[in-house]
Chain A
């Protein structure tokens, strides 16, 4: 398996192997290099936040972590197991460890809200109908949505869709959670609610989270570590307090919300 290969050996060594390791990840779409040699490690129980400008490749990177996109080059290693080299059946197994909320919700429009959040529970647990309904209600309450179970997804506002997607991601209480901009487009209060849920889950030592956000305030609230993605490369990774004082002029401008002259690839 993975440990027969040289570069994965690096991951195995030491007492605390990272939950997620990304090694030299490259991806090109239609001649445009979107990811250009990404390396990162996320430890078990860590809340890792990726920030960066729109179009920097954040969503593409997140989709690589769960194997929705295959890289042109490089490896994604989950619990020491190479997701990139796994066959279809094995990668399905590995994905059971994950929950993911998508930037646009990606709710099943053939089902109502209840059906959406119940979906992973019905697929992967033996819970009874009542237990599922209770779990769904609980997840919806966490994101401050109540009594919407029977609504069609088309009746929801953008922010509600995103919160239902978030609830669906956490329903199974997976080991690894990937959130693609969970609080974009939410008002400050509701956005704070989502942050609160993430912070609370961070207390559980066995939940590893990777969150993408534009919102630096939220990043500082929820992160154990923050990484800055720029033009397909991670230009800095640091703990929140250290991240604030990084000298990189681009990061300083990003933090201050000042315009930068971007060299568009």
Chain B
């Protein structure tokens, strides 16, 4: 630390730490919005790199189907298991189907799918862009008169934002299917009744709200991952830090914004 002669009071040190910490937070938020703003700004500019968009959509969308599908299916299964036991206590087994379908489409499928994608894609975006930053590949893009946000970030953020709703739609289907399997196959629910109840209270708006949430989460997690990668410093170690914090920050922001989206919009 510094070689000051005057001993500082612990209070000064404390305030200094708080101050430095809040500056860091402001910096992080500023960077996030810098990337977000420029991504939107460059999305509608030529050239449109269709091949890269497709490549990223496959990477985010198609390649994530197994992990998202599995997550959703088992969530549906465990939901059915839990609610069936609970609802049986007051003879409301009939509503298991409704609870499973409502909570999946409105809440669980979008949030859990997004968290899985934050782990799978947010981290790899940060690692990829971080490596390009520390090996000067991003500088090389600038040097070749190519805006890296245009070339790298736009297709990645765009693909993630576009692919999350269809992924969540698949998750909805598989989750409901998993719940049905457990309720009907294991708990002996009436298949026709269950199927009826699944859709009885399910509004198209419920599904839509979940899909819109998914798109917002996709935007958030991909911009977070790209921001962390884009501003990486400090070599391989820095790339590691960026990767970790892309997942942590992405997940936290998804959960926090989920609350506000649910409260305000739907």
Contacts and interface: CB of A to CB of B under 8 A. Distances in A.
Interface of A: 63, 66-68, 88, 92-93, 95-96, 98-100, 102, 104, 106-109, 119-120, 123-124, 178
Contacts, number: 52
A104 B132 CA distance: 12
Nearest to A165: B140
Interface size bracket, B side: 10 to 19
9 contacts: A92-B146, A93-B145, A100-B140, A102-B140, A104-B136, A106-B135, A106-B136, A109-B131, A120-B145
A95 B139 CA distance: 12
B135 A98 contact: no
Given A106-B136, A108-B137, A68 B142 contact: yes
Contact of B144 (A93, A104, A119, A178): A119
Contact of B140 (A92, A96, A106): A106
A120 B144 CA distance: 6
A168 to B, nearest CB: 8
Interface string B42-69: 0000010000000000000000000000
A92 B144 CA distance: 9
B192 interface: no
B135 A96 contact: no
Contact of A109 (B137, B139, B145, B147): B137
Query: How would you classify the secondary structure of chain A's contact residues: helix, strand, loop or mixed?
Result: mixed
B195 to A, nearest CB: 47
Nearest to A103: B136
A178 B132 CA distance: 20
Nearest to B140: A106
Contacts of A92: 145-147
B13 interface: no
A123 B136 contact: no
Contacts of B47: 123
Interface string B99-139: 00000000000000000000000000000000110011101
Q: Which of A106, A124, A178: most chain B Cβ within 10 A? A: A106
Contacts of A88: 147
Contacts of B132: 108
B143 interface: yes
Contacts of A67: 142
Nearest to B128: A110
A155 to B, nearest CB: 16
B34 to A, nearest CB: 11
A68 B139 CA distance: 6
B174 to A, nearest CB: 32
